[in-house]
Amino acid sequence: MNPDSLDLLSAYLFWDTDRSQLDWDLDRALIIHRILEYGQIKDWLILTHHFDMNTIVEEAKRFRDLDPKALSFISTIANISPTEFRCYSERQSSPPHWDF
């Protein structure tokens, strides 16, 4: 199997998407977002094999929403303050109704 194949990623990450139509570069934001929020360590390792940390972080900085645990993970592993991520400031101003 091709090491750049999206088939190596956990199938549940793209349950609502036809994986054969995904492209690492064109769908970079979707792939990074899903792996950060729902991926396993093997998915993370595949992601870091395909993209460098700077690319992953720059993409993550633009996300409007990101699970607090995923935000903590990416900010810690990249040694960047969570306040530098767009989702941090937008989450603070409009938390989802189910968070108490």
Q: What is the pLDDT of residues 20-56, one digit of tens each?
A: 899 999 999 999 999 999 999 999 999 999 999 999 9
CB–CB of 63/86 below 8 Å?
yes
pLDDT at 1: 45
pLDDT at 81: 95
pLDDT at 96: 59
Amino acid at 92: Q
User: What is the domain partition of the chain in residue ranges?
Assistant: 29-93
Q: How is residue 25 written in tokens?
A: 């570069």
pLDDT at 18: 87
pLDDT tens-place string over residues 46-83: 999 999 999 999 999 999 999 999 999 999 999 999 99
- Asked whether the predicted pLDDT for residue 100 surpasses 70, the reply is no
Sign of CA pseudo-dihedral 47, 48, 54, 60: positive
